[in-house]
């Protein structure tokens, strides 16, 4: 029964440095174009939200019901920007689209939190000047574009990792199982098969891979944009799942992380040596494939 390679601190540093250089090059090549493109998308959405609510002076439940994405835009007009979870807590209901029975309460919560610095006319009860509206749109579009781009980057980077792993596994003659049903028992996934995002026990796994010896490699794909962020991505997210799977399945589940981006060296060492997370790198998939085939 083969075990994943354990890397020395020197080896971890070498791969960490290479991953960081690749991350820097990608960001430099991206330039401001992606941000500008996102800004051009959200700016008319913000103007439409202002129009629908009479410049935020009349936020009504019926508008939240008839315009499905309106509540998402209005979150960014609050001070501070209110998260989905905070809004759900204040309203008393989790939702993707505002439920009819919670529409008026949602409208009231948002109305009470409108940013009166960006939208001073709301408190004054008047129509904004063109200059005031344009300034508010500019500020809100900047805020929303920044967050949308960050979300898009994370999602796009993770998908890129998952696609690369899937392609490599298929080339190594493993078979993809397209099912997304939760894996309560490991035998729900045949040996030498793998899936895309799927629940393993009580936790989601990006790519569960059933090894030939019967164990399951629960592979998580992680991109970190800085040393501090790496502790969240690797230690908290992957390490937390590793403990969950270890408690449920013992040694029958090997937790792995496919890494790209910027990582703190101590974070890498602790994840490998203290949390028993097998580390692999997006820029070099050979060790991952070798472990899967052994």
Q: Among 152, 201, 197, which Cα is nearest to 179's?
A: 197
Contact 34, 149 (CB under 8 A): yes
- Are residues 201 and 222 both part of a single domain? yes
- Are residues 258 and 225 both part of a single domain? yes
Residue 289 lies in a domain: yes
Q: Among 218, 221, 207, 124, which Cα is nearest to 169's?
A: 207
Q: What is the pLDDT of residues 159-216, one digit of tens each?
A: 889 999 999 999 999 999 999 999 989 999 999 999 999 999 999 999 999 999 999 9
Residue span of the structural domain in which 200 resides: 9-29+172-293
Q: Among 211, 291, 210, which Cα is nearest to 258's?
A: 291
CATH number at residue 215: 3.40.1350
Q: What is the pLDDT of residues 78-94, one digit of tens each?
A: 999 999 999 999 999 99
Query: b/e per residue, 227-241, with b = 16+ CB within 10 A?
Result: eebbbebbbeebbeb
User: What is the DSSP pairing of strand 207-210 with strand 216-225?
Assistant: antiparallel
pLDDT at 281: 97
Q: What angle do CA 91, 80, 83 make, to 5 degrees?
A: 45
- Are residues 77 and 113 both part of a single domain? yes
- Which two structure tokens, joined as six digits, stand for 285? 């998939």
- pTM metric for this prediction: 0.73
Residue 1 lies in a domain: no
């Amino acid at each position: 029964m083969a075990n994943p390679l354990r890397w020395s601190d020197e080896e971890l540093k070498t791969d960490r440095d290479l991953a960081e250089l690749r991350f820097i090059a990608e960001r430099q090549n991206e330039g401001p174009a992606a941000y500008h493109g996102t800004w051009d998308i959200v700016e008319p959405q913000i103007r439409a939200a202002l129009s629908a609510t009479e410049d935020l002076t009349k936020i009504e439940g019926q508008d939240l019901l008839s315009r499905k994405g309106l509540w998402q835009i209005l979150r960014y007009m609050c001070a501070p920007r209110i998260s989905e979870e905070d809004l759900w807590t204040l309203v008393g209901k989790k939702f993707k689209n505002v439920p009819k029975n919670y529409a008026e309460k949602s409208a009231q919560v948002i109305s009470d939190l409108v940013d009166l610095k960006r939208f001073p006319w709301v408190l004054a009860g008047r129509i904004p000047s063109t200059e005031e509206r344009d300034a508010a749109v500019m500020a809100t579009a900047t805020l929303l574009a920044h967050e949308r781009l960050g979300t898009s980057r994370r999602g796009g980077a993770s998908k890129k990792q998952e696609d690369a792993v899937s392609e490599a596994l298929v080339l190594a003659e493993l078979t993809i199982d397209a099912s997304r049903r939760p894996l309560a028992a490991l035998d729900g996934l045949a040996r030498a098969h793998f899936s895309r995002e799927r629940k393993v026990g009580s936790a989601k796994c990006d790519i569960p891979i059933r090894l030939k010896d019967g164990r399951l490699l629960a592979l998580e794909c992680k991109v970190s944009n800085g040393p501090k962020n790496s502790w969240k991505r690797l230690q908290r997210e992957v390490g937390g799942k590793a403990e969950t799977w270890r408690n449920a399945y013992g040694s029958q589940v090997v937790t792995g992380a496919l890494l790209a981006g910027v990582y703190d060296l101590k974070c890498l060492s602790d994840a490998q040596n203290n949390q028993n997370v097998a580390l692999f790198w997006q820029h070099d998939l050979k060790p991952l494939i070798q472990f899967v085939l052994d």
